[in-house]
Amino acid sequence: MLAPASRDKPLGSTLPSRPRRVGVRPSAAGDIHHVGRITMNATIDSRGWTMVRRLLLLLALVGGALVLAAGPLYRFGWLELRAAFDLMRWGFYVSAGIAGISLVALIIAAIRRQTRTAGLLALALVIAAVPAIGLYQFRARAMAVPPIHDVTTDLSDPPAFVVLHPRAQETEPVVPAGRRADLEKLSPQERWRVYHREAYGDLAPLLLRSDPAEAIALAERAARDLGWKIAAVDPKEGRLEATDTTFWFGFKDDVVVRARPDPAHAGVVRLDVRSVSRIGISDLGANAARIERFLDRIRHLAAGRLVEGGQARIG
């Protein structure tokens, strides 16, 4: 017989209640899942940026290495000149491309406030930009100078080589007219004079109160100070011949210095210089710069013997 229900409790209150689920509220579980996804995405994003910055830094170093290695590889005979220039060109392409990509990535990293990544990207940008800008300026300078490789302080009567024979294989100078119609009908020698006057019209010989032998002695001292390899010194004839080797590619350029009495001034010697590149059509302005350095050195060594003004004009 069933016991009567208690008057104090409602009917059904004696039935066992459903067990309460212990755990996280649905909203809290969703939050944890969302945070987990954010953390995972951040980790993946961080790894991606790490790969990007490392790759850009590596390629920036590769581009710079290609540019820097071209000169020594040619100088020591491991590459032909054309191959060395091709290597430089590819180094420029790599460096310029990586510099552009690094700049874009750096801006993005800065916006996202990724300090470490931005720092490495800035480093990659600098490493890539230096050779790219350097080669761009090199090309701009090459386009600005005339296509000649023989520079002198005396156009009417250039000093002659006796011991050294630069470009002896050429029957006449190689001087292209380029796109200049006014030069097409001129001979190579006449083109050379036109280019020379236009580019180096201010390059002039020095006038010294000296005799030819003393002037050549000064010239020899200046040449040795500049690191030239002396090939011949003839004080009686007033002539010095030497070879200068460039640092990067090891190009050899020959120089002749001539000292002879100036007919317009008693007791004064006129010192003329000529510098010729052994290879190439354009010297990129190297010969004129070499002559200017040499004359500056002579001015320093013979400061007390320079005629007023220190130089004559080219005839």
The answer to whether residue 177 sits within a structural domain is no
Identify the domain boundary among 129, 144, 159: 144
- Do residues 157 and 90 share a domain? no
| Residue 309 pLDDT exceeds 80 | no
Separation between Cα atoms, residue 130 and residue 102, nearest integer Å: 13
Q: What is the CATH number of the domain that holds 274?
A: 3.30.310.80
- Do residues 207 and 109 share a domain? no
Average pLDDT over residues 201-230: 96
pLDDT digits (tens, 9 = 90+) for 40-98: 444 445 677 788 888 999 999 999 999 999 999 999 999 999 999 999 999 999 999 99
- Do residues 154 and 302 share a domain? yes
pLDDT digits (tens, 9 = 90+) for 127-174: 999 999 999 998 898 889 999 999 999 999 999 999 999 988 887 888
Separation between Cα atoms, residue 176 and residue 188, nearest integer Å: 7
- Do residues 258 and 127 share a domain? no
Give kind and range of the element (H or E) at residue 253.
strand 252-261
- Do residues 84 and 108 share a domain? yes
| Residue 264 pLDDT exceeds 70 | yes
The answer to whether residue 293 sits within a structural domain is yes
| Residue 243 pLDDT exceeds 70 | yes
The answer to whether residue 301 sits within a structural domain is yes
| Residue 209 pLDDT exceeds 80 | yes
- Do residues 131 and 218 share a domain? no
pLDDT digits (tens, 9 = 90+) for 289-302: 999 999 999 999 99
19-33, 135-149, 173-187, 197-211: lowest mean pLDDT where? 19-33
More confident residue, 23 or 233: 233
At 308 the pLDDT is 66
- Do residues 219 and 287 share a domain? yes
- Do residues 54 and 154 share a domain? no
- Do residues 140 and 222 share a domain? no
pLDDT grade for 229, boundaries at 50, 70 and 90: very high
Query: In terms of residue numbers, what domain contains 212?
Result: 150-168+200-311
- Do residues 138 and 270 share a domain? no
The answer to whether residue 126 sits within a structural domain is yes
At 116 the pLDDT is 85
At 303 the pLDDT is 82
Closest CA to 284 of 246, 256, 313: 246
The domain tally of the chain equals 2
The answer to whether residue 218 sits within a structural domain is yes
At 21 the pLDDT is 52
pLDDT grade for 225, boundaries at 50, 70 and 90: very high
The answer to whether residue 230 sits within a structural domain is yes
pLDDT grade for 36, boundaries at 50, 70 and 90: very low
At 295 the pLDDT is 97
- Do residues 162 and 103 share a domain? no
pTM: 0.77
Identify the domain boundary among 144, 160, 188: 144
Separation between Cα atoms, residue 128 and residue 106, nearest integer Å: 13
At 7 the pLDDT is 46
The answer to whether residue 191 sits within a structural domain is no
Find all residues with CB under 8 Å of 207, minimum gap 6, and list them. Answer: 262, 265, 268, 269, 270, 271, 306, 307, 309, 310, 311, 312
Specify which residues 242 forms β-bridges with. 230, 255
The answer to whether residue 187 sits within a structural domain is no
- Do residues 160 and 92 share a domain? no
